[in-house]
Amino acid sequence: MGPIRGNKKKRKIELKDDIENVLASGSSEEGTIDWWDEFSKRIAGSVSPSKGIDQFESVFKVSRKTFNYICSLVTDPMMAKSSNFLFLNGKSMSIKDQVALALRRLSSGDSLIGVANFFGTNHSTVSQVTWRFVEAIEEHGLHHLQWPSKEDEIAQIKSKFENMRGLPNCCGAIDSTHIVMLLSASDRSVDVWLDRKDNHSMILQAIVDPDMRFRDIVTGWPGKMDDASVLQKSTFYELAQKHERLNGTKLNLAEGTDLQEYIVGDSAFPLLPWLITPYQGRDLPETKSEFNKRHFATRLVAQRALARLKDVWKMIQGVMWRPDKHRLPRVILACCILHNIVIDMDDDVFDELTLNLTRQHDLGYRPEVCEIADKNASLSREKLALYLSGRLPG
């Protein structure tokens, strides 16, 4: 599956209008409270609220307002098909029941049978409803995961990154994580998925903005591939190499020294004119050492975004039992879209769930080192390091 790209002051206004229009056409907060009152009676004692958030948010990892928005977003595509999903007591599932079931499946990390028991239905219904939800959120929610296309939106992103630790003209931070799978020994492709930690896994590579929002992702590639190879297979790489991405306003650092737009990544990625990586080695000079500190603090946002993604949407956090490898990339995409929706909705749950968040999303994986370094990129990084230290000749 290729990267999802696309199209926040102006975009935020447009997106806010879209959200308000969808909410206006959908169910009310009062309706959700009534639905939840009835639903919560069926699950009484099944869950304990997380500290600081109520039971609804603990169960579904979103607020009622965000839940309403998601329901309104997926109602048409989910209800367009004729299947009538039922509880074990024979009662038909409403759209809220179906969305609740799918969110619980994606966020709890519980098995199909566990979610089925929680809702009072059978495991095949859980599977079918979840997949229908994944298709619907991809079809109607993809506008929440786009590369910024407006100049003022890019300018705002650059400003926020620079305010972190001073890196100017930065447009994103890139990182990768492994979605671990338990595969059947009879699977002929099993060795392809074996990664450097001897896990079978699928890679998710993401470019993140300063608000931990995913701006571009690529997933579906086997864990055997390294980060640089996955990047080079992506459409983002192709566009950037052809100067069709990260091709906006250059920043003048000093006379005769311009800095193009770029993203930051760790040493697993190649050093390119549009992708700046840290200096390698120990006992670095002060200028390079200080640059690495700033660089690390800036790219930390990508690590935190991936950590939060896995921590909230736990279906992709643990070891997945023999997943459908053709469907898994779309499940991962759906989780990334939901992650962004929570941010775009200014959902308080996002802040509550990130209070004690670590940046660990790939525990036990050894750091990779890519030796590819573009000469012009090396020179640009050198000048940027001097600029940050105040030592770049004017």
- What percentage of residues in the chain have a pLDDT greater than 70? 87
pTM, two decimals, is 0.90
For the stretch 127-143, pLDDT in tens is: 999 999 999 999 999 99
pLDDT at 379 over 70: yes
Residue with the larger pLDDT of the pair 144 and 255? 144
pLDDT at 3 over 50: no
CB 147 within 8 A of CB 263: no
User: Looking at residue 31, what is its pLDDT?
Assistant: 65
Q: Where are the alpha helices (DSSP H) in 43-181?
A: 55-60, 64-80, 95-108, 112-119, 123-141, 151-165
Tokens at residue 136, please?
A: 């619907």
pLDDT at 248 over 60: yes
Looking at the DSSP bridge assignments, the partners of residue 257 are: 254
Average of per-residue pLDDT across 231-256: 96
User: Looking at residue 311, what is its pLDDT?
Assistant: 93
Average of per-residue pLDDT across 186-211: 93
For the stretch 103-124, pLDDT in tens is: 999 999 899 999 999 999 999 9
User: Looking at residue 354, what is its pLDDT?
Assistant: 63
User: Looking at residue 7, what is its pLDDT?
Assistant: 39
Give the number of other Cβ atoms within 10 Å of residue 122's Cβ.
17
User: Looking at residue 318, what is its pLDDT?
Assistant: 85
Alpha-carbon separation of residue 119 from 36, 38, 69, 89, 190 (angstroms): 13, 12, 22, 11, 34
Whole-number Å distance between alpha carbons of 59 and 97: 13
For the stretch 263-277, pLDDT in tens is: 999 999 999 999 999
pLDDT at 208 over 80: yes
User: Looking at residue 353, what is its pLDDT?
Assistant: 64
Alpha-carbon separation of residue 126 from 115, 123, 222, 335 (angstroms): 7, 5, 27, 17
User: Looking at residue 22, what is its pLDDT?
Assistant: 58
Tokens at residue 113, please?
A: 């049978």
Q: How many residues does the chain have?
A: 394
For the stretch 5-60, pLDDT in tens is: 333 344 555 666 666 665 555 555 666 778 988 888 776 555 555 544 578 888 89
User: Looking at residue 48, what is its pLDDT?
Assistant: 52
User: Looking at residue 107, what is its pLDDT?
Assistant: 95
